Structure formats: C-alpha cells, structure tokens
Homo-oligomer: A and B are copies of this chain.
Amino acid sequence: MPQRAWAVIAGVGSGTGSSIARRFAKNYAVALLSRKSSNFEPIVQEINDAGGKAFGINADTSDAQSIKMAFEQLKKETGGKLAAAVYNVGGGLVKKPFLELKEEELEAAWGANGRGGFLFAQEVLPLLLAQAETSPQYPPTLIFTGATAALKASATFLTFAAGKFAVRAIAQSLAREFGPKGIHVAHAIIDGVIDIEKSKNFDLGPEAKISPDAIADAYWFLHTQPRTCFSQEIDLRPAREKW
C-alpha cells in the first residue's frame, strides 16, 4: 500500500493552526506540534472522526532537543512523504515600554520565532527536498506565519517585531536558496486580529477580524502553486482593516 503524504504544522491551538490542519487534512495526513497536548487534542480528534488522519505531538519548537525528538517520532509514525510544512508558532507578543522589558521577554520572542523557525526548517527541508525529486502533485512547501510586525516595528512591541523581522529574513533567505531546488518557501503577513476564541471579546464590528479558515485557504493556495509561479510573500487582512 502506498504511503500517504503528510503535512506538519507547528503551532496548533484553537485558532489558525487548527484551521490550517483542517484544510491540509483534506489531502494529507497531518502531524500537529504544540507545547501542550490540550492544544492539539480537539482538532486531532475532529479530523480523525471525520475520516482524516491526524496525530499530535508535544514539542517546544524553540528547543533543539525537543524538536529533534519530535521529528524522530514523526518520521517513524508517518513513514511517509512530507508534502508541506507550516511554521505557525507565535510568541513574544508583549506590549511594554522598552525600559520595562526584560531580556527573557526578548529571548522568548526570539526563541519562538527566529530560533524555532530555523530549527523547524532544518528538520523539514531535507524531507521536502527528498519529496521534490519524486514529482509530487504540488511542489513541497514550507510556509511561515508572519505578522504586520514583520514589516513595521511599532513602539512598545519591540520584542515581537524583533522576532517577526527575523523569521521574515529566514523565510526570504530560504526561498532564495531552496526555490531553485523546487521547494516553495513562503511568508504570510497576517495583518489584523484573527477571529479566534482569544479575541472574541474584541468588539471591532462585523467582518473586522481575519477568518482563520480563510488564512488556511490562502496557505493551501500557496501550496498548490506550480514551480513556474511561486508567491514568496502574501498579506492577509480584513477588508475593513486600516493599514
């Protein structure tokens, strides 16, 4: 029996990560990474109940040892072909005057975004490269979730911006290096409040939050682009967002 292709998504909670998992699970088995099992359990169960295939694994993507172990397990369990990888880990979103920031807060933002993105990419790229040689239906894809703060560093969001600028650099450099090898590396600028559990009390009016399902559709679209037409960066915002 041919092995099933799979997708791995790091950073899965109740929001965007779950929507991405749900979307990619229509075509692939999905492996979901999160620091807490409670983050991925509901969506793992939902996908499996619906006839898809999903499993979760605990991992702290900012930690080399943790991510290494997670991928060892993943490679064993999936035995399969990695079609797509999404680095959707955020973190470091602290709003504070600069002189009140602590070094640990900066390091947390760096670890979740910069170092984590780097470590994740080092695990997935060899797998994606191996796939690229097998003429898969869609080019093997690595997508990073970014934010407005990847382009504009606001006052009092310094740590988050430092992390998001860094992850944008990583995505851009990887796109230039691995594009010619047939891997699609993209970076998404999420510009606005995502419509998830945590933001349900932000009253911004109708249709003023970003739909996580629509983010997932955009990521899926990126994955389906052929090698003759890759997008490296895409912005996603509500029609009503001021920018």
Contact = CB atoms under 8 A, between A and B. Distances in A.
B98 A174 contact: yes
A116 B215 CA distance: 33
Nearest to A100: B122
Contacts of A156: 173, 177
Interface string A200-243: 00000001011100110110010001111111111111111111
Contacts of A211: 226, 228-229
Given A106-B118, A115-B107, A228-B195, A177 B98 contact: yes
Given A99-B125, A170-B153, A231-B234, A182 B239 contact: yes
A169 B158 contact: yes
Counted per complex, copies of this chain come to 4
A2 interface: no
A184 interface: yes
Nearest to A216: B229
A161 interface: yes
A229 B215 contact: yes
B234 A234 contact: yes
A70 interface: no
A219 B97 CA distance: 26
11 contacts: A98-B121, A98-B173, A101-B118, A153-B169, A158-B174, A158-B177, A165-B165, A165-B169, A166-B169, A214-B228, A214-B229
